[in-house]
Structure 1
């Protein structure tokens, strides 16, 4: 059985590591935060003191960091995976970054003997922890086929969306433009209900059993009506970053993204007002404007 590494052990990476270990893979991990390192060690992972140590010990390495510059440094920087992994090894770029950044990483890996699977994920913290993520994978057939057992340990759905670096990121940018729009529409509908005095439980019951119901809508409403705005594993920084990528792709291709642009501004306002919050905290900005909050047992006027 191949050995596997995970670089980045936060909300998403910790879920990857947990499920790899549970599926019997020898798993090496690295994170800059000591608390995450300790949690990884406690679940049975092999603690690494550097990216290079992960690379030397792993046949496959998941890179789950926040930004493109971080992914570039982990993979191509001094002491990175490109210089430490054995020829024939495979890097799984599961971070969400700009398509151009993924293409640059792919270009930098030419002539290294390493494979790259550009495979951003969807499913958030619950999907990562449960091992049910959706993977949008771009890589040649043989590379993807060889990596499938490792990918199946963390995923319920693997889609080959292309063969070249950047193609996975393009699909993720399209997806996030939709998800962000669903979020923002849910926030607005919830505040409309709050201002009208409708209890949150009524809204959840109706929305979740209607044609508008979805995992995104239902989960957001649950968090909103229970006023759970922090510590749910879905920090607003991530969605904000993803929407900037979607908007940049739209600009690059000349595609108007009117609804996603509105969502971007709602998330921007939420992130500015509540920088420590999770996705659903953006609703509080709208609630403050209209003076009403949606709670499970009823609406609350705030002025």
Structure 2
């Protein structure tokens, strides 16, 4: 298959100018919104527009991978910039949460390459007379470059550049610059996901008295937010305790049984959740009942170094 596919980590930049610098400038002009997280959706749209105008392609797009199985893949056409409305594809019914069967060998090879984090560069006319060539010709694509978007070592989606007018070849510099753009996109996606989870937690906290805790059992440190310990505070703060200070907060009658239960949870290879009711001393000196609910976080197989605690009155 006449597709130039390669490991992005092995791309070697050369002393080139012009388009490579234009792409870098385009990325930097859009980077602030994506890095700060303010208006990240607009930031991605702006980035795609800058990339499109700097490279002169017909269309810049992002597909999100929603689900992938052995025989099919579900994707969504999430973002697009187009140089002319005749090149617009976003919003078309067949690109909205669309399912593609993994039956064509060319397509399977393409998906596997993207899962490995590899780029693909091709000129449609140079492809063999098979499924992929026909598929691209139907869309009027003369050349294409795709860069996978990787989040947490998983293929989240694809950044693509289509040219419907020219047979483009891409230099190592340009590919490296576009990979940098995919990093900014990944960062924006992760930040937005984190913000959404924080908003969910804040909504939950508005309905019940709760705080979030994190224990590093290897080093013996506990971090927690202040809602339960200091319920009268108007501003939520983050507090740090060493292991002894933390134990002193637990009612004497509950320390040993709680520690035994917690130790069993931390050393277990099977248990992933932990629930326990105990009394804890607030900063006012008064004890209150709390329910602790934990999810373990393992950094290495069979080794739990810390757990996150969600506690509420």
TM-score, normalization: structure 2? 0.24
More helix by share: 1
Q: Greater Rg, structure 1 or structure 2?
A: 2
